[in-house]
Structure 1
Amino acid sequence: MSDIPSDLQYVASHEWIRDEGDGVVAIGVTDHAQDLLGDVVFVELPDVGTEFANGDDIGVVESVKAASDIYAPLSGEVIAVNEELQDTPELVNSDPYSDGWFIKIRLSAPEELGELLDADGYSAVCESES
């Protein structure tokens, strides 16, 4: 079974969300997602200052198997991008919940946090896909 930290929140499209405080969250893809993708070779992320709505495409992860869209799990503005992924995209595979984060956003609709899955809910999503 994939690693599903209980201190994060999730969406069914396999992104995780970590509340950083002050209306800022970090976003990445889950261990389950990186496992399905295989070896990540490229990550395309939005520019700082980009605004998007919940569900918008915000980037692409390319692996040796396929290219997959990354979806915004919440509405907001990008305030930071993980620049390390340009040179070392494999961080998504080796450390998806820490060094492999994608972006940080300032929330424009904090109430959307209440719509996210907890670890148990996300685990049930993963089991239903097996």
Structure 2
Amino acid sequence: MNCDIPYDNTFEHVTSDALTRELESKVQKDSVLCTDGFKAYIAFSKNNDLIHKRLNISAGIRVLENVFHIQHVNAYHNQLKLWLSKFHGVATKYLTHYLGWFRFMEKKENCNENSFFKTQQQLIPT
């Protein structure tokens, strides 16, 4: 998975099997999975032969080996929540659409006059 491109998705239930179905083609075998201690993440890493670094935030362990942390995920999550707050609530069934819109808006190459014009033209009914 390219670390420069954030990946997000919604899950009805987060299980090891659901993670495997969703991420098996996106996570390389030599990857290091850095998460909290959620059981589905532990099983997913074991089932896919990944190195798993588990943080215990409640115990104050936010960084392992001076390298492994989840601050990028937390920052992305905070940016997403701030952006979503403008809509005063989003229906769960439309959340994937909002995630796609957010990813589009966050990509630097999409932030130019021509791309906004193209998007605007697609939104205007003919």
* TM score, norm. by length of structure 1: 0.24
Relative to its length, the structure with more strand (as a share) is 1
- Greater relative contact order, per chain length (Cα 8 Å cut-off, separation 6+): 1
Relative to its length, the structure with more helix (as a share) is 2
